[in-house]
Structure 1
């Protein structure tokens, strides 16, 4: 086997072993580049997950929906879901007002 055919065979083997996860020879792995991009080093990227909502705001919105509907079922559902919330007392008062 000649030196030239050995070098060509070695280059061919390296090219065959290269996958899509690799950058050109001498470059970083694409996965490493992606990890570096996701570590917050780029200020213009938006977060991958939105921030959690304030639970008190969500409960207040649900109470307003029940109040707008104004039905017994809506207030009962609110009380069943949020019975220990201070707004549940308002919902109970609305239920008493509806039953008169």
Structure 2
């Protein structure tokens, strides 16, 4: 067996081992079988994003943080960000108490 045919035979064996799932088309692999994307037996995937928080809870937490800080700047920032929130009135009252 000439030395030259060994690499060619090895190359042919590798192509045969690769299977018939892919065929070369212009040097690029191409799928020849139908994709199995409709597996009904699989469990549903978990959502990629967590559920949105309740905005009222987030505003209440922010108010409590501003109240714990106890500075004019913290309360003014809360009022500027959440002026329409029900807790904004409490923040305004707290701000008046601090200015006395």
Comparing both structures, which one devotes a greater share of its residues to strand? Answer: 2
Matches within 5 A, 1:5-24: 15-17=23-25, 19=29, 22=31
Q: Runs (4+) of structure 1 moved beyond 2 Å?
A: 17-20
Bigger helix share = 1
Q: TM-score, normalised by structure 2?
A: 0.64
**Count of residues in correspondence between the two structures:** 76
Mapping of 1:1-100 within 5 angstroms?
A: 15-17=23-25, 19=29, 22=31, 25-28=32-35, 33=37, 36=38, 42-43=43-44, 45-100=45-100
Gaps of 5+ in 1: 1-13
TM-score by length of 1: 0.64
Structure 2 distance, partners of 1:42, 1:90, is 48
CA RMSD after TM alignment:
2.5
Larger Rg: 2
